[in-house]
Amino acid sequence: MMKVLCTAVDALPRNLPENELAFTFFKSAKRSGVGTIAKGWRGSLKRRGFSPSPQAWDFAQFCLSVCATDLACLRKASADGWTRVIELTVGLHEPLRWLPFQQHLENMLKVLTGDHWTLRFVAGGAPPPDGRPTESMHDCVSLLSGGLDSLIGGIDLVAQGRRPVFVSQLAHEDSQRQRDYATRLGGMGSHWQWSHGISFSGQRETSTRARSLAFYGFAVLAASRIVGNPVQVFVPENGFICINPPLVPGRVSSLSTRTTHPQFIEMLQALLDGLAVPVTLELPYRFKTKGQMLQQCQDQALLRAFAAHSTSCGRFRTYNRKHCGRCVPCMIRKAAFLAWDPAADTTEYVHPVLVGADKTSGPDDAMAAAQAVLDVQGKGLNRFLGASLAFAAPQDRQAYRQVLAAGIDELSALLQRDGVL
């Protein structure tokens, strides 16, 4: 079992078990082997006028704790090389409020990461910042990653007359792009750009299936500044990636990311409701493909100005801030542009076409996509999907089937264009 403790510096035990990793919130413990989460962030929030409720603040502390744990616990050290058994102790400002949700949260994290979690909530979290709030001009929150979907989400909200505040996780290669998009869409003062600031000595786990929780923690904090009951938080993601069906049978569970999966979002919403955090998570594009999002974007001129400069690649840093052109996100991006306007895709790809872009090691995403298309054509969509839609309510199942079928069609068109099929 991998054990992790996340708490405020003042609550950190003097002696830690040798087999337990430890992190402190917002301040360094200045102790060997103890990591730090978001150093200086609480003070920064206070200076900027944040005064969130205890439950919203503890939600942020919990999300950051899970992110730190996900980074510090190596999958290769687990029994099967992937599935971890984790015991996480989280210091919270109001731990008793969280006790009724322990089982729900353990199940939710298993959906998100594919691991087995045991959670313990104890006193020891930092108190909420007590800044002096100022009236916000915004009426909703929208996540802004620097990617194509979040760009379209922001464009559409502004076109509809909404006044979103954009929330981003700092990313070295996307930080300026995030600022450019937010300023163009919402003007100055419409963007919060934060980092989880997780630092520790030792090797980092690269699968980062829980990284998105920091995004949601940041979004809830941003929502605490907005007058509304509830405040809408928009999560702009196309339906094909939301569901992220395994392209081949081997890609199941946490091997396929579930960051915006409707089942996970529903469980996260249930937690927020139970904690009385007045936020509603919205998946406005869950029934649209990326190509349909491009085609139906409500400000086509603005979209054309920015679309090709957005980031989609799952290996962007690996390829020196270039799109690889062959990972699943890159293929879906290419297929979307092909469905919308092929000439508009001026993205610089390391592999402009898929033929000849096969990998000598690791998963071959193009071949997996081709196998998925052939399976759908030969055996039917239901056989391909298997239990992928088991989570869906009966009234939504047909809409999910349609978006997944359309997503496969978009991939098929790309694979045919590149001579893979």
Q: Which domains does the chain have, with CATH numbers?
A: 2-123 (no CATH), 140-194+207-282 (3.40.50), 312-417 (no CATH)
pLDDT digit string, tens, across residues 271-283:
999 999 999 999 9
* Dihedral of alpha carbons 107, 108, 111, 115, sign: negative
Task: Please tell me the distance from the alpha carbon of residue 289 to that of residue 238, in angstroms, as a whole number.
Answer: 5
Task: Please tell me the distance from the alpha carbon of residue 324 to that of residue 310, in angstroms, as a whole number.
Answer: 14
Residues of the chain with pLDDT below 70 are 172-173, 250-256, 357-363
H/E element, 121: strand 116-123
Residue 254's pLDDT is: 39
In terms of Cα–Cα distance, which of 288, 245, 236, 287 is closest to 396? 287
Residue 226's pLDDT is: 95
Residue 173's pLDDT is: 66
User: For residue 402, what are its two tokens?
Assistant: 């349609």
Strands of the sheet with 231-234, listed across from one edge = 191-194, 164-169, 140-143, 231-234, 279-282
H/E element, 281: strand 279-282
